[in-house]
Amino acid sequence: MRAAFAITILLSVFWLPAAAPAVAQGTSDTQQAKEDVMPADRFWELIDRTTKYSSDQDAQMEALRLELGKLSAAEIEAFERAFHAQQRRAYSWDLWGAAYIMCGGASDDGFEYFQRWLISKGRGIFEAAVADPDSLAELAASGSPEEYDFELFAYVAQEIWSAKTGIDAATDPQGRYPYTGAPPAAQPSGKPFDEDPAHLAKRYPKLWAKFAQ
């Protein structure tokens, strides 16, 4: 009886610690993978490689496809999270007011597509616009509002991820791709703008001078 009891104790000592770390390690790896975000420098490096084609949206999307096609599925997921992070930075009332002037109005969806357009212009223009939305007057030419809308740019990563994994990201019941169509925050940052022309002219003097009809 003593021998059997000793063997039972001995087995429990060697078996239990080995099993527990394996489970914990697996959970940790999965959690870490879900939280991985591509570093900003790397993200913008990839975007900036496509900006030479920015005058042709189809060509720029193709350039982004080629860049993302070189990455692993996990790296594409990290890129997508970085895209969301930059979009959150651009989700401000200051930039929404700029979009309102440049596009002749901007709904929730319209402003989201404007943010995607702004990201597509590359790091230099994006950072300048986040710091001072009125600086966009130096880049933008008054014209069709469609010039400041790039909805499809945000779907390229999802497309390449689906091709690499064989999983339809849009219908995957497990939701393994990190894309979300929800707003990047509950509310835009900063102070809301007023649609009154006098307010807009004062808040965005350069944009108002270029785009006001």
* Predicted pLDDT at 145: 61
Tell me how far CA of residue 65 lies from CA of 37, 85, 109, 132, in angstroms. Answer: 19, 20, 24, 30
* Predicted pLDDT at 29: 41
Q: What is the mean pLDDT of each run of 10 residues along the chain (213 residues)?
A: 40 37 36 72 98 95 98 97 95 97 93 96 97 91 72 96 96 89 81 96 95 80
* Predicted pLDDT at 212: 85
* Predicted pLDDT at 179: 76
The secondary structure of 166-200, three-state, reads CCCCCCCCCCCCCCCCCCCCCCCECCCCCCCHHHH
* Predicted pLDDT at 144: 57
**The model's pTM:** 0.81
Domain boundaries, the chain: 1-35, 38-211
User: DSSP letter at 210?
Assistant: H
- Determine the Cα–Cα distance for residues 122 and 126; give it in Å rounded to an integer: 6
For residue 118, what are its two tokens?
Answer: 């702004």
